[in-house]
Amino acid sequence: MSYQESFISYLKYERRYSPHTINAYKNDLDQFVQFCTEMVGEFNVKRVDSKQVRNWVVVLMEQQLSARSVNRKVTTIKAFFKFLMKGHVVESNPAVNIPLPKIRKKLPNFIDENSLNHLLDDGFFENNFKGTRDKLIISLLYGTGIRLAELISLKDADIDTENYSIRVLGKRKKERIVPYPRSINNLLFQYFDIRNREIHFQPGYLLVTEKGKQVYEKLIYRVVKSNLGKVTSLEKKSPHVLRHTYATHLLNKGADLNAIKELLGHSNLAATQIYTHTTFEKLHDIYKQAHPRG
């Protein structure tokens, strides 16, 4: 068995990686082996040096691969030689300290305030069960910034209409209390009235289908996409876009970043800081429009 085959076997049986991940590692490794063979006439793990790895990165960049793809391929080679070092096959890792292209962070998509106010305030939803429920879905996602899974798992008992807040069970079963806009109370009472009168359901989950079952991911995606499509041309229209919108609007209005972190249920501040980039983009646009020499 070759060193490459041993490495793939290790990923499969000891690390228990998924077939998709294993296939990606195998393809990256095969490409590197082929490159080394073409470059020096053979592939010998004990003779691979950092120069060969750097040259491979240059070739990958010349092929116009994305920075993310190049980084992943080098990560594969780094993991391969780490495996060989562990087995005392080689003494050093030639993929360590290789300069890599910087991955540009994608700024989160968000919807402007006027568009969402137009959707929620100007009669887009019918006053029946489906219309009221769908409006509540949009209102809760935008008004609290909760995740899709958190919304689906909300129960009647999690709603505190006196204190305008919901109890959310987030990732790693971490519980948090999130306030919601007072205007949502009227919508909640309207929804409770129609649901409890017209829908046969087992008391428990807040949001249910017309057959009284707990809502599910595809239904939420469908509700969000179809309704956001009425007020925005944004390509991506998902529950997560409303979460991004919630955080961005709070930050643009002066909310503290640490407070937003707690509201979103992020485990560390780094995950929240991406919204500062969005705000800076907005400030930069305002500057260019307003400053005489902008």
**Contact between residue 22 and residue 11 where contact means Cβ atoms under 8 Å apart:** yes
Return the half-sphere exposure (C-beta side, CA atoms, 13 A cut-off) of residue 128: 5
**Residue partners of 93: CB distance under 8 A and separation at least 6:** 78, 81, 82, 85
What's the CA gap between 70 and 68, in Å, rounded? 6
Q: How far is CA 160 from the centre of its chain?
A: 28
- For the chain, how big is the Rg over CA atoms in Å? 26
In 64-199, beta strands by DSSP E: 159-160, 165-169, 175-179
DSSP 231: T
A 10 A CB-CB count for 4 gives 17
**Residue partners of 267: CB distance under 8 A and separation at least 6:** 171, 172
What's the CA gap between 155 and 204, in Å, rounded? 5
Kindly report the three-state secondary structure assignment for every residue of 177-203: EEECCCCHHHHHHHHHHHHHHHCCCCC
Could you list the active site residues?
147, 171, 240, 243, 266, 275
